[in-house]
Amino acid sequence: MRTYILRRVLTAIPTLFIISIVIFTILAAAPGDPLSQLALNPEVPPEVRENLRRALGLDDPWHIRYIKWVWSMAKGEFGYSFSSHIPVVELVKQRLPNTLAVVGIAYLIAALFALPIGVLSAVRQYSFFDQAATTFAFIGVCAPTFFTGLLFILIFSVKLQWFPFIYDTTLKIEDFDSLLKQIKQSIMPISVLALFQMGQLTRFTRASVLENLPMDYVRTAWAKGLPERAVVFRHVFPNSLIPVVTLIALSIPNIFAGAIITEQIFRVNGIGELLITSTLNNDTPVVMGLTFIYSVLVVLFNLVADIIYGFLDPRIAYE
């Protein structure tokens, strides 16, 4: 196992190196100037703009800028934002709690509900519960988050006035009233994201369990007289988790990336909103930093998923 992990880590280094080149090349070749807003301001003389370009390294050749960027990443700095002049790491630290409070909790709720619903739906195939769960899963997958988000706002904020439709990121939990406000403002964005993610996980889990139910080892377990709970949760469910683990592992980096559309609809000041704002402002250090961190998380959780496979299925051996 140690040899396999070491080999995967060594393989990930050139992979991330190529990804960094692709990210930098695309953003360096993209149209737009980070100092374009200053060019429209008549109070800023051209000499000041040129000095700023030299200070930010925008006049350096592309390979020099790439080396500086890689060196700053190696030190864990990721450079400074062109717009706010704040280190990218500090911007991530400021926005990440809001993203985790909404997107992270939504993914957790989706996994806790989708797995048992998918298992029960497969075991009770073609029953009323299976048809209701399948319909619910299709609605969750097919309905885009911008549609369900706006629908929730119209129903629960405008008509019923139960929940606020603007997420207050400045709210601090100090007493029971502030905790209640935090819960109320989090219900709609969390529900929108959880509905979409539950649809995917429920369908994946149901299909995986249905694939394992007719297997010989399951018939043998039934022939031994084991109760249904033991057959399903001790034999079928662990083997059905392998493709589900892949989906969950590849979805975890999305928690860091944030839900761009949902954060825009409910004005959640999270990572997704930061990425959109930085893209519109041509703030390339922030965009490159967020994109590369996301790439690292994808590579990392691919490795985590492969390691979990070995615990779920003893037939998988890493040598």
- 162, pLDDT greater than 60: yes
Residue 38 in this model has a pLDDT that exceeds 70: no
Query: Region 77-85: what's the mean pLDDT?
Result: 77
Residue 257 has pLDDT above 70, yes or no: no
Q: Return the ∠ at Cα 1 (arms to 211 and 5), rounded to 5°.
A: 95
Compute the distance between CA of residue 65 and CA of residue 127 in angstroms, rounded to an integer: 61
Residues 244-253, mean pLDDT to the nearest whole number:
79
230 in Cβ contact with 217 (< 8 Å): no
Distance, in Å, from the CA atom of 86 to the CA atom of 94, rounded to the nearest integer, reads 11
In this predicted structure, the answer to whether residue 204 has a pLDDT above a threshold of 60 is: yes
pLDDT of residue 228: 80
Residues 6+ apart with CB under 8 A from 46: none
* Residue with the larger pLDDT of the pair 43 and 11: 11
Q: How sure is the predictor about 280, in pLDDT bands with cuts at 50, 70 and 90?
A: confident
CA Rg value for the chain: 24
Residue type at 289 in one-letter notation = G
Largest CA distance in the chain: 86
Name the pTM for this structure. Answer: 0.76
Of 100, 149, 88, residue with least CA distance to 274: 88
pLDDT of residue 138: 86
Average pLDDT estimate for 211-218: 83
On the 0-12 / 13-18 / 19+ scale of CB atoms within 10 A, 98 is: buried
Mean pLDDT of 183-208: 86
Domains of the chain and CATH, by start = 35-75 (no CATH), 88-312 (1.10.3720.10)
Specify the DSSP class assigned to residue 169. Answer: T
As a whole number, mean pLDDT of residues 30-54 equals 62
Mean pLDDT of 108-125: 88
